[in-house]
Structure 1
Amino acid sequence: MAPGGGICKEVIESSIEFSDYEMATSSVELRGSPCRKATTGFSGNLGTTSNNDVHELLECPVCLNLMYPPIYQCPNGHTLCSSCKARVRTGCPTCRHELGNIRCLALEKVAESLELPCRYQIWGCQDIFPYYSKLKHEKNCNYRPYNCPYAGAECSVTGDIPLLVRHLKNDHKVDMHDGSTFNHRYVKANALEIENATWMLTVFNCFGRHFCLHFEAFHLGMAPVYMAFLRFMGDEEEARQFSYSLEVGGNGRKLTWQGIPRSIRDSHKRVRDSQDGLIIQRNLALFFSDCLQSLFFFFYLFAYR
């Protein structure tokens, strides 16, 4: 089997929190998107002005994200979000007037009257939320797309599970297996060498669901280790319905791990750093080899529910 990985380049996760609302800045629907159109017709207590018109007023003219308190304005009334205000050094991006610290309290108050659909409405979420609750919901919406679980390189592809399965197979050339058991032999040419690289990613199709088996070598602190763990291609709640057993053996010895697969909602780096899987110290791994020049791993995977 060809290794399904390369040098690990974990995507650094970051979030920007807003005081008072504990919500992260995220890209929102641009003009013309399906989610944007869905806002038309939801009229709150805004008289003849539609939610869609006010929605446009709440878009920052610089980053086009929805603005959340504090919302700032220049002396001429042009607004922008707090993040862009901190970056803009040349004055108001609309009229170039010098920016002060004027809050647009009226627009903040108007936003409180808005109710908008979840941005993942096109994926199946039919809920409507007050303006200031929308992003908080979207951060944990069960309908939000999944990130590609491939760990060998940065990958920005997102989508539903069928799309990601096709993407892993066609674009990353990941090995696909049907069934709940897996038996394979891995050979390391130099048992004394540990590279910070993903050795293998294999996708299993069983019980009508898909699972990702990761196996890699890296340094845990100063100690070189091998690690194998399973991730479920779905949400955490459904992942807890499954269990798995992972066994490594060779040279008359074996080591077994039993656990619950982690959802791909948890990043590869988070699962690896949590050490929630089968971890083999290098010195222990050498017992599975018949010599110091090579290292043999026999993995047996059994997933069950």
Structure 2
Amino acid sequence: MAPSGTICKEVVKSNTASSDYHSPSADLESRNSPSRKAAAAHTGHSRVSSHNEVQELLECPVCTNLMYPPIHQCPNGHTLCSSCKARVHNSCPTCRNELGNIRCLALEKVAASLELPCRYQPLGCPDIFPYYGKLRHEQSCRFRPYNCPYAGAECSATGDIPSLVEHLKNNHKVDMHDGCTFNHRYVKDNVLEVENATWMLTVFNCFGRQFCLHFEAFQLGMAPVYIAFLRFMGDDNDAKKFNYSLEVGGNGRKLTWQGVPRSIRDSHKKVRDSLDGLIIPRNLALFFSGGNRQELKLKIAGRIWREQ
């Protein structure tokens, strides 16, 4: 479990996969002028005044993220990252000249000489990494905050596990239960109202850790189905230490599922779309519910245990 004490906060996520050390773009002509780029590229370690100035040179003028090879440049020396090169339709965002396929090898070599702190240093990470190794570390850094696991709304809160538990309880009014076995009933008067709907998340405290039970309706191709699955509030390595089972039934029939809870590092949508859980076709769910086959009344029983 990540160290406690980090307060949940609302953040806006970047759509860029290599998101890193964001800062607003300054005067692009000044920052990307050929003379400044050349000076930075041909200056030795002893002549570089600070890492901050070099980091500024390595910021893409379009997305303001740090650039990684291949770093592209136009004939005038203006640089940008490979992701943004595809987005600007091969036209330099600074001077509008055609970009072509010129690599800025000098700037790539300057980047290779840098050592930078982890972006999660303010959250407690003490380590320093080579420029090209930093991003790989940050993807698995134990101080990296978790995203809110609530699936009923687009929540952008992040934090460590204790703060997210409080966030779920106070902001989303999620039910909290103690114990490693459970029986939950899901009832809906009109099943046609629940297409792609999500029931409120339930959190279980078990073995001193927290697990999120999801149950929802969605379309699998053309077929309406329900899915139930468990996610672990922690990293994947810890999630693999546990197993869980789910069971649903009625009228003398039942379906069972046994699996390993997925870490909340995997988004709710990723787990759902991978079908890694108990899948219940609607017709069978209504059969389990009995009655006039118009009302949903499902009881999901489950158990969590630790792998020895």
TM-score (norm. length: structure 2): 0.77
Match of 1:201 in 2: 201
Distance 1:97 1:260 in 2: 52
CA-CA distance at 1:28 after TM superposition = 1.6
> What is the CA–CA distance in structure 2 between the aligned matches of 1:194 and 1:173, rounded to whole Å?
20
**Residue number in structure 1 paired with 2:301:** 300
Say if 1:84 and 1:131 are closer, same or farther in 2 by CA, change over 3 A.
Answer: same
- Matched AA of 1:46: H
Distance change >3 Å, CA 282–CA 14, structure 1 → 2: farther
Q: Which amino acid aligns with 1:27?
A: D
Say whether the 8 Å CA contact 1:92–1:99 is kept in structure 2: no
Q: CA RMSD in A?
A: 2.8
Q: Which runs of 5+ in 2 are unaligned?
A: 1-12, 25-43
Cα offsets for 1:180-199 (capped at 9, x unmatched): 22223222213576511112
Alignment partners' CA distance in 2, 1:282 and 1:62: 47
Give the conservation status (yes or no) of the 8 Å contact 2:246–2:300. Answer: yes
8 A contact 1:74–1:92 mirrored in 2: no
Alpha-carbon offset, residue 214 of structure 1: 0.3
Q: What is the 5 A alignment of 1:135-214?
A: 135-191=135-191, 195-214=195-214
Partner SS, residue 47 of structure 1: helix
* Residues 242-290 of structure 1: per-residue CA shift (max 9 Å, x gap): 1112222344543332221111111111211222111112222233223
- 1:28 is aligned to 21
| Higher mean C-alpha displacement, 144-153 vs 227-236 | 144-153
5+ long unaligned stretches in structure 1: 1-12, 17-23, 32-44
- 2:46 corresponds to: 47
Report what 1:37 is aligned to. Answer: none
Q: State how far apart, in whole Å, the 2-side matches of 1:240 and 1:81 are.
A: 37
1:5 aligns with none
Q: Aligned letter for 1:158?
A: T
- Contact (CA 8 Å) 2:286, 2:294: kept in 1 or not? no
Conservation of the 8 A alpha-carbon contact between 1:198 and 1:216: yes
CA distance in 2, matches of 1:280, 1:97: 55
Residues 134-185 of structure 1, C-alpha deviations (whole Å, 9 max, x = no match): 2233233333221111112222222211222222222222212122222232
Identity %: 73
> Match of 1:105, as an amino acid?
L
Tell me the amino acid that sits aligned with residue 288 of structure 2.
F
Task: Check the 8 A contact 1:146/1:265 in 2, yes or no.
Answer: yes
Is 2:70 the counterpart of 1:70?
yes
**Residue 125 (structure 1) shift:** 3.1
Q: Which moved more, 1:217-226 or 1:122-131?
A: 122-131
**Cα separation, partners in 2 of 1:75 and 1:286, compared to 1, 3 Å:** closer
1:276 alignment partner, SS class: coil
- 1:87: Cα distance to partner? 4.7
Separation (CA, whole Å) in 2 of partners of 1:178 and 1:157:
24
Aligned to 1:6: none
CA distance in 2, matches of 1:231, 1:174: 15
Q: Which has the higher helix share?
A: 2
Residue aligned with 2:241, SS: coil
